[in-house]
Amino acid sequence: MDKNEISYKIRGSIFNVYDNLGPGLLESVYVAAINLNLEKKV
């Protein structure tokens, strides 16, 4: 997997989490959700 593929998956997870959770949560909530989302994609 090259840098572009990794970056694409990370950005996709960020947008997916933000679209589902919305604004206003603590950063730790977003980090945990992004981690879970990335683990599902691997």
Q: Where are the domains positioned within the chain?
A: 3-41
Which two three-digit tokens encode residue 29?
Answer: 């909530």
Can you give the pLDDT at residue 1? 85
Give the per-residue pLDDT at 37.
95
Mean pLDDT per segment of 10 residues, for the chain of length 42 residues?
Answer: 93 96 97 95 76
pTM of the model: 0.84
Cα–Cα distances in angstroms (integers) from residue 10 to residues 18, 29, in the given order: 12, 16
Q: What share of the chain is helix, strand, coil (3-state, %, to 5)?
A: 80, 0, 20
What was the pLDDT predicted at 41? 79
Decide: residue 17, CB within 10 A, 0-12 exposed, 13-18 middle, 19+ buried.
buried
